Amino acid sequence: MRRLHPFPEIRSMLRRLLLAVVTGIAAALAVWLFRQTLLFLENAVLGSHGGSLVAAADALPVWRRILTPATGGLLAGLVLWLWQRYSYQHPHGPDDYMEAIESGDGQLDTQRSLVKSGASLIVVSTGSAIGREGAMILLASLAAAKLCHYLTPREEWKLWLACGAAAGMASAYHAPLAGSLFIAEVLFGTLMLASLGPVVIAAVSAQLVTLLLSDGRTTLYQVIPLTAPSPSQYLEMALLGVVMGCWGALLLRLMSASRKGFQKIAPLPLRLMAGGAIVGCLSAFTPMVWGNGYSVVQAFLSQPPLFGFIGLILLCKLLAVLASSCSGAPGGVFTPTLFIGVATGLCAGRLWGMLHGVDTESVLCFGLTGMAALLAATTHAPIMAALMVCEMTGEYTLLPALLLASVIASVLSRWLWPDSIYRKAQYG
């Protein structure tokens, strides 16, 4: 009987699957270590508030709300500036996993990555409106890269770096399938579909380890069970996809303009301090601008506020995200984008309810659609965006409608602004 696959090929496949499991475990441990260090710093600087930066800001006097993010930005800027002065004569590799996969050899610069992650710890623990998950994924990718540097041939390094990034996303967002598709969609053409198997295995392994190390929650956000959308709701969600496509392109333009404006401020420590000061001044008005927005999103999804309140918080948070991200604060904008998307969707749902009278469940449907559609509009990865929202909330009945809205938003945003949030050419 003729074998379907030669024995050496099967042995190679088993080796890759085993390495994918090991990579996923290493990535999950890196994310867990970053999270524990962050909690320690937040408790040391702000006091114990269960990891909620919004609660920590609310307990501080106004003057400390203003000064804490500015001080954190100054310290992080000094760390990055001193590192640049120290290493400018030394050759260095990338500290961005996408760059290492697309144009590098699949290896990250260890020292640069650790310095960047350390600076991210500083700005995140002092209230900057930046995502902590960016540094988590970077460290997960670094752990995978260092591990596989000694265990695999050079031609496989990009694959294992991609596995580490997907595992980091799975661990940070409890979304292993969306993390895998993120790598496949955003880096399409670099990572072949045939290599997706180890990426999925690494992501699922990381998710399992994260569940063992955490409180056992299977989803990132808790939402009441929603019923499948009706045909009329499909139309409403598709229309919201059009709105979010335009809003996504506008958000990318705002980020581009804001980054160019902050680049006029020199040196780097003063630039980051200016971004932190803006966040601090906004937090004097509302503490909800601190942090990546996770706790506020959870509160909004538990009980959607009225239109005026959501709109006001959305405006303040948008300004804080632009100030933090575009000033150069190290961190991600993935989770802040989720906040902006869900807040915009809830605003649209409340506005639609004023005109046509919809219940809370329909408003939540608008919010989740806004979250997925804006993520798709800014990343140009609609399948990943729709699946990620379902994995983060457990609302899989919405998946077909979310896919519809996400594809519409992604296509429209790409037409209006060709670069995604991960293509830095847009920032000039």
Please, are residues 292 and 131 in contact by the beta-carbon 8 Å criterion?
Answer: yes
Alpha helices in 93-214 (DSSP H): 97-102, 110-125, 133-149, 157-173, 176-186, 196-213
Alpha helices in 263-357 (DSSP H): 268-285, 294-302, 307-326, 334-356
Please, are residues 292 and 315 in contact by the beta-carbon 8 Å criterion?
Answer: no
**H helix or E strand, kind and range, residue 396:** none
Residue-range domain boundaries for the chain: 7-213, 231-427
End-to-end CA distance of the chain: 61
Q: What is the predicted pLDDT for the residue at 192?
A: 55
DSSP helix/strand/coil, 332: strand
Burial readout 5-40 (b: 16 or more C-beta within 10 A, e: otherwise): eeeeeeeeeeebeebbbbbbbbbbbbbbebbeebee
Residue 91: asked if its preceding bond is cis (omega within 30°), the reply is no
Helix, strand and coil in the chain, % to nearest 5: 75, 0, 25
Which CATH number is correct for 231-427, 1.20.1260.10, 1.10.10.10, 1.10.3080.10, 2.60.40.1120? 1.10.3080.10
Q: What is the predicted pLDDT for the residue at 3?
A: 45
The radius of gyration of the chain from alpha carbons, rounded to an integer in Å, stands at 21
Whether 7-213 and 231-427 share one fold: the answer is: yes
DSSP helix/strand/coil, 333: coil
Token output for 4: 């379907």
Q: Which of 70, 94, 60 is nearest to 324 (CA)?
A: 70
What is the pLDDT tens value at each position of the chain, 428 positions in all?
A: 344 444 456 777 788 888 899 999 999 999 999 999 999 998 888 886 777 888 889 888 999 999 999 999 999 999 999 988 887 766 666 778 888 877 767 788 888 899 999 999 999 999 988 888 889 999 999 999 888 888 888 888 888 888 999 999 999 998 888 888 887 766 655 455 556 778 888 998 998 898 888 766 678 888 988 888 888 889 999 999 999 999 999 999 999 999 999 988 888 899 999 999 999 999 998 999 998 888 899 999 999 999 999 999 999 999 999 999 899 888 888 889 999 999 999 999 999 888 877 788 889 999 999 999 999 999 988 999 999 999 999 999 999 999 999 999 999 999 999 888 876 533 33
Q: What is the predicted pLDDT for the residue at 31?
A: 94
CATH fold for the domain made of 7-213: Clc chloride channel (1.10.3080)
Sequence-distant (6+) residues with CB within 8 A of 24 are 163, 167, 170, 201, 202, 203, 204, 205, 206, 207, 208, 209
DSSP helix/strand/coil, 188: strand
Token output for 173: 């967002």
Q: What is the predicted pLDDT for the residue at 193?
A: 54
Question: How far is the C-alpha of 201 from the C-alpha of 181, rounded, in Å?
Answer: 12
Q: Calculate the CA dihedral of residues 322, 328, 329, 330 and round it to 10 degrees.
A: 120
